């Protein structure tokens, strides 16, 4: 693992820190904290329930801090998310957050009835086996704990499309036994947008099932009620662990 950081003590600002195989974190001035996600307004807020599953995909909801950058009709907050899903006569039970940052909203903004899990997932690259296994385990845990209701598993990345689509389709293929092309078609139709990244699509269509040898019980703590927040996957190297703790201490102050 490699960690690089550029700091300016005078301004108390971290320019960037990069953790290989996990995420790239970009920190800047306070103005950047409120910067809208790129192309966020190009996508509809919430899709529809994927037939034959309990999945629903949506773009990342934004906290009120972003409201002044959006027209009233463009705003989409955690409370709006729950309302919009309710309009479909569905109930949200779990949110799986795949974004690689904590700046968009906090899990405490979700109702206490909605559980929350965070998987820091790097964009533009096919998720690792560990990320795939963690996602599957979180979903399986929730479904096993909610067999007598029909609460939905909501999944989002930034746009609720590529990372979200890959992991939801991967679950439908590997766990539900769905044909890859059918899984992709169902996701695209339900989301209202088509997955865009060819590397994700190629892996789903041509790759082998991504089944992790570890037992699901190793991930039992990944899901909880707000304000739960999961850190990136653990590192065995003690120096790496110390550096990671330092990063989160600085990030907490900045964000």
Which of 103, 163, 210, 222 is catalytic? The answer is 163
Cα 113 to Cα 9, 49, 107, 108, 118, distances in angstroms = 42, 19, 12, 11, 17
Asked whether the beta carbons of 160 and 191 are under 8 A apart, the reply is yes
Cα 107 to Cα 87, 104, 224, 227, distances in angstroms = 22, 10, 10, 5
The pair of three-digit structure tokens given for residue 94, joined into one six-digit string: 């779990």
Neighbours of 25 (CB within 10 A): 18
Active site residue 240: no
Which of 54, 100, 103, 157 is catalytic? The answer is 157
Active site residue 169: no
Neighbours of 124 (CB within 10 A): 10
The pair of three-digit structure tokens given for residue 138, joined into one six-digit string: 């979180």
Catalogue the active-site residues. 157, 163
């Amino acid at each position: 693992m490699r960690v690089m950081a550029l700091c300016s003590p005078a301004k108390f600002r971290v320019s960037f820190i990069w953790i290989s195989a996990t995420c790239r974190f970009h920190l800047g001035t306070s103005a950047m904290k409120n910067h809208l996600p790129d192309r966020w307004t190009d996508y509809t807020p919430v899709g529809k329930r994927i037939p034959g599953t309990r999945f629903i995909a949506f773009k990342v909801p934004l906290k009120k801090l972003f409201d002044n950058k959006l027209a009233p009709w463009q705003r989409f907050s955690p409370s709006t998310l729950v309302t919009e899903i309710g309009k479909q006569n569905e109930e949200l039970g779990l949110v799986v957050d795949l974004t690689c940052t904590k700046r968009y909203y906090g899990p405490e903004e979700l109702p206490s009835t909605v559980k929350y899990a965070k998987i820091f997932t790097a964009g533009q690259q096919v998720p690792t086996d560990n990320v795939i296994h963690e996602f599957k385990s979180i979903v399986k845990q929730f479904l096993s704990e909610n067999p007598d209701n029909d609460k939905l598993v909501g999944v989002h990345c930034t746009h609720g499309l590529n990372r979200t689509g890959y992991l939801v389709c991967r679950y439908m293929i590997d766990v539900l036994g769905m044909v890859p092309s059918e899984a992709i078609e169902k996701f695209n139709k339900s989301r209202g947008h088509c997955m865009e990244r060819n590397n994700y699509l190629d892996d789903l269509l041509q790759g082998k099932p991504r089944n992790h040898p570890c037992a699901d019980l190793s991930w039992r703590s990944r899901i909880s009620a707000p304000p739960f927040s999961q850190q990136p996957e653990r590192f065995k190297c003690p120096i790496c662990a110390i550096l990671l703790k330092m990063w989160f201490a600085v990030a907490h102050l900045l964000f």
